[in-house]
Structure 1
Amino acid sequence: MSLSDEERQRLAKLGHELEEDDPRLARTLSGKGFDVFGHSIGTGALLAIAGVLLLLVGLAGNSLALAMLGTIALVGGLVRSGSDWTRRHLRHRA
């Protein structure tokens, strides 16, 4: 069952109010990132870190497949982090 435009607007308004009232709770509920020692680490950053580790393991073990997989994960993580950052900063400007 799809939502009507009015229902979507209400949900968007509630989401923005939640982000303004309690950004930490909103981030936790959205599933976008993890808190480590009070700092938020996004999923893109975690993917990039995993990519670097895979790349290094692949290079150290002369495994082309692991090195390629690590490179793909690294680039994917950087793209994800960049798009999250852009979306977050462009939304606050409007």
Structure 2
Amino acid sequence: MSLSDEERQRLAKLGQELEEDDPGLARTLSDKGVAVFAHSLGTGALLAIAGVLLLVAGLAGNSLALAMLGTIALVGGLVRSGSDWTHRHLRHRT
């Protein structure tokens, strides 16, 4: 079911009011990620965890390709997490 134009305008207005009233809550609600034990794990963290698992599986199974794929995923996840963290903290400083 799609929203009517009037409903979209109301929703946009509510979002703007929320951002003005409580920017911290608005930021928390708009963040993407998976909640684990009341902590949010973003895409980068999930990719890094998957990379570690692939790396360990590759080393345990003597699979160079799997270990390399795990290393690439781990580094990619760390870069993504660092980029997200930097973007989040530098954006809110100004």
- Kindly, what percent of the aligned residue pairs are identical? 73
Deviations 1:11-44 (A, max 9, x none): xx94x817714333222xxxx2111121111110
Structure 2: gaps of 5 or more residues? 1-11
Aligned length: 78
CA RMSD of aligned residues (A): 2.3
- The alpha carbon displacement at 1:48 in A equals 0.3
Q: Which residue of 1 aligns with 2:50?
A: 50
Give the greater-gyration-radius structure (CA): 2
Q: Which residue of 1 aligns with 2:27?
A: 23
Q: Which residue of 1 aligns with 2:5?
A: none
Structure 1: gaps of 5 or more residues? 1-9
* Counterpart-to-counterpart distance in 2, 1:38 and 1:58: 31
3-state SS, counterpart of residue 86 of structure 2: helix
For residues 25-40 of structure 1, what are the structure 2 equivalents within 5 Å? Answer: 25-27=29-31, 32-40=32-40
